């Protein structure tokens, strides 16, 4: 995409400079032809190609990140003004954690992003893309931390006066510690 946009940018800039600097540049081509060539013939295949490319990459983000043997852990992330609450449907006895997301390192986690009020956006820059948390919807995003550690997370959709402070921390734990941490029986720093 970078090289494609570079090529198009160079083409547009070249045409612009030619139109400004070269006397009578382009007069041999009719206005209608410029519009049809530059406005339809050029962008249509480019945009069509990019659309299918984006579909394929999007599918990969959802499916390709996980092997068959790797069971995905689902974690519910609920945004509200102005904090995040994390719950673990598959871990019995786990309380709701506020602004602190525990995940097992080396395992793919599927975040189910939801909202109780306005649109928020779940984002942990070092672990993957962002996903909107929309009231009445459940959006899914897969993240994965290869190493145990701490990772900063933030709401990346403006959601009111407390938006800037709507941060959370992700703690990736060793797999053997994870369950105990989530159920609240284990502390380590």
Nearest residue (CB) to Cu ion, 130 versus 163: 163
Nearest residue (CB) to Cu ion, 79 versus 104: 79
Closest approach of Cu ion to the CB of residue 114, in Å: 14
Nearest residue (CB) to Cu ion, 80 versus 142: 80
Considering only CA atoms, which of 94, 72, 83, 111 is closest in space to residue 169? 83
- Residue 112 · residue 75 · CB < 8 Å: yes
Neighbours of 174 (CB within 10 A): 13
Closest approach of Cu ion to the CB of residue 164, in Å: 8
- Residue 132 · residue 119 · CB < 8 Å: yes
Closest approach of Cu ion to the CB of residue 113, in Å: 12
Nearest residue (CB) to Cu ion, 73 versus 154: 154
Q: CA separation (Å) from 185 to 53, 104, 176, 177?
A: 46, 16, 13, 10
Closest approach of Cu ion to the CB of residue 133, in Å: 9
Nearest residue (CB) to Cu ion, 80 versus 102: 80
Q: Which residues contact 179 (CB under 8 A, 6 or more apart)?
A: 91
44, two tokens: 């249509």
- Residue 167 · residue 121 · CB < 8 Å: no
Closest approach of Cu ion to the CB of residue 78, in Å: 13
Q: Using CB under 5 A as the criterion, which residues of the chain lie in contact with Cu ion when the complex forms?
A: 120, 155, 159, 163, 166
């Amino acid at each position: 995409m970078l090289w494609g946009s570079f090529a198009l940018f160079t083409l547009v800039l070249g045409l612009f400079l030619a139109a400004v600097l070269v006397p009578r540049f382009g007069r041999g081509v009719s206005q209608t032809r410029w519009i049809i060539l530059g406005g339809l013939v050029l962008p249509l295949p480019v945009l069509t190609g990019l659309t299918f490319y984006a579909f394929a990459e999007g599918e990969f983000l959802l499916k390709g990140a996980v092997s068959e043997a790797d069971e995905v852990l689902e974690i519910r992330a609920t945004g509200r003004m102005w904090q995040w609450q994390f719950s673990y449907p598959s871990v019995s006895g786990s309380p709701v954690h506020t602004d602190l997301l525990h995940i097992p390192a080396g395992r793919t986690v599927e975040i189910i992003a939801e909202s109780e009020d306005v649109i928020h956006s779940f984002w942990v820059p070092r672990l993957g893309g962002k996903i909107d948390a929309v009231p009445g919807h459940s959006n899914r995003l897969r993240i994965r931390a290869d190493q145990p550690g701490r990772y900063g997370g933030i709401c990346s959709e403006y959601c009111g006066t407390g938006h800037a402070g709507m941060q959370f921390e992700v703690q990736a734990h060793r797999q053997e510690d994870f369950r105990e941490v989530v159920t609240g029986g284990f502390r380590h720093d």
